């Protein structure tokens, strides 16, 4: 399972800190979600937990949405001209919330199947709640910003980076937990 969490970690990293040269993205965000999906695949193979299966579906939808958004932006369509195009970030953040909620849910279920993990289960339940509340707040800020043209997108982007760093540290904790279980001689 450690390898699955490692892929999820790097997928989040690529989706958050994608590299651009001019207007061309070297590693677009949708590539990060493809990597996340492959990591979730490993978790599904090892646990067969339904939450991971749903997370994979949300990851695929998110990657497809980001790919289509990239095609739209490269085509030169004015983003302000169509309200549906302005809703893409809100749909994206909602799909991302559902994706990582399900990853947390599957991880909690997986941890609860093991012995002596009550402390870890409680820790990740708290992390899941924090992530859910923070993501909803960010999404509401984006909705208000788009609706009332408030111009607080930069603040929302900073909050999104902070929540992504939180996600990466949480996933890294899971990765290290399972890697230490898989390779006890490393300790």
Nearest to 96 by CA among 68, 153, 55: 55
Sign of CA dihedral 56, 101, 25, 72: positive
What value does the mean pLDDT take over residues 95-115? Answer: 93
**Residue 107 pLDDT > 50, yes or no?**
yes
pLDDT at 182: 63
**Residue 41 pLDDT > 90, yes or no?**
yes
pLDDT at 74: 74
**Residue 92 pLDDT > 50, yes or no?**
yes
**Residue 185 pLDDT > 60, yes or no?**
no
As a whole-number percent, the residues of the chain with pLDDT over 70 amount to 88
DSSP the chain: -HHHHHHHHHHHHHHHS--EETTEESS-HHHHHHHHHHHHHHHHHHH--HHHHHHHHHHHHHHHHHHHHHHHHHHT--TTT-HHHHTHHHHHHHHHHHHHHHHHHHHHHHHHTSTT-HHHHHHHHHHHHHHHHHHHHHHHHHHHHHHHT---HHHHHHHHHHHHHHHHHHHHHHHHHHHHHH-GGG-
> Could you give the CA distance from residue 135 to residue 132 in angstroms, rounded to a whole number?
5
As a whole-number percent, the residues of the chain with pLDDT over 90 amount to 51
The pTM is what? 0.87
What value does the mean pLDDT take over residues 85-106? Answer: 90
What tens digit of pLDDT does each residue of 1-15 get?
A: 889 999 999 999 999
What tens digit of pLDDT does each residue of 154-178 get?
A: 777 888 899 999 999 999 999 998 8
pLDDT band at 69 (very low <50, low <70, confident <90, very high): confident
**Residue 187 pLDDT > 50, yes or no?**
no
Q: Hey, what's the torsion of the CAs at 123, 124, 127, 133, to 10 degrees?
A: -120
Q: Within 13 Å and on the Cβ side, how many CA atoms surround 60?
A: 9
Whole-number average pLDDT of the chain: 86
pLDDT at 128: 95
Phi/psi at 114 (5° precision): -95, 160
């Amino acid at each position: 399972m450690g390898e699955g969490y490692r892929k999820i970690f790097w997928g989040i990293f690529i989706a958050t800190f994608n590299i651009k040269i001019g207007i061309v993205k070297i590693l677009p965000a949708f590539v990060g979600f493809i990597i996340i999906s492959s990591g979730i695949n490993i978790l599904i193979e090892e646990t067969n937990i339904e939450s991971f299966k749903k997370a994979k579906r949300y990851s695929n939808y998110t990657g497809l949405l980001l790919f289509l958004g990239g095609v739209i932006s490269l085509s030169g369509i004015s983003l302000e001209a169509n309200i549906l195009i302005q809703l893409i970030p809100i749909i994206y953040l909602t799909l991302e919330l559902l994706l990582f909620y399900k990853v947390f849910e599957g991880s909690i279920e997986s941890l609860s199947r093991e012995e002596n993990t009550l402390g870890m289960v409680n820790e990740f339940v708290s992390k899941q709640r924090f992530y859910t509340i923070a993501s909803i707040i960010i999404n509401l800020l984006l909705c208000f910003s788009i609706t009332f043209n408030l111009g607080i997108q930069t603040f929302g982007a900073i909050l999104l980076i902070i929540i992504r760093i939180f996600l990466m540290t949480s996933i890294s904790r899971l990765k290290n937990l399972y890697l230490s279980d898989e390779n006890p001689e490393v300790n």
